[in-house]
Amino acid sequence: MLEKPGCPWCKRFDEEIAPAYPNTVEGRRAPLRRIDITRPWPADLEGIRKERLTPTFILTDRGLEIARLRGYPGDQFFWSLLDDMLAKLPDDETTPAGGHSN
């Protein structure tokens, strides 16, 4: 999850989704990693295109971008859009997490 201080949609995500997220099937498959876009870009994400819009959710697998969701559409739409993103992950029985949502 790309975020920045003072982002009202990030705050809304934190209130509506973040508390439950790690306890869901989706959260276990794609653990949420938070990246503050006002800080230096993490070295392990050098191959991922930066974004100015927050929040942005980037699903990666083995360092490659699989899908991207710009903005937070609200709790009514977030889960179905996340499911669409997760459906793009390759099936890999050897890696239980399968991917990582940044």
- Could you read off the pLDDT of 12-70 as tens digits, one per residue? 999 999 999 999 999 999 999 999 999 999 999 999 999 999 999 999 998 899 999 99
Angle at which helix 8-16 crosses helix 75-86, to 10 degrees, equals: 80
Residue 88 pLDDT level (bands cut at 50, 70, 90): very high
Q: To which H or E segment does residue 13 belong?
A: helix 8-16
Residues in the chain, overall count: 102
pTM for the full model? 0.86
User: What is the pairing mode between strands 35-36 and 2-3?
Assistant: parallel
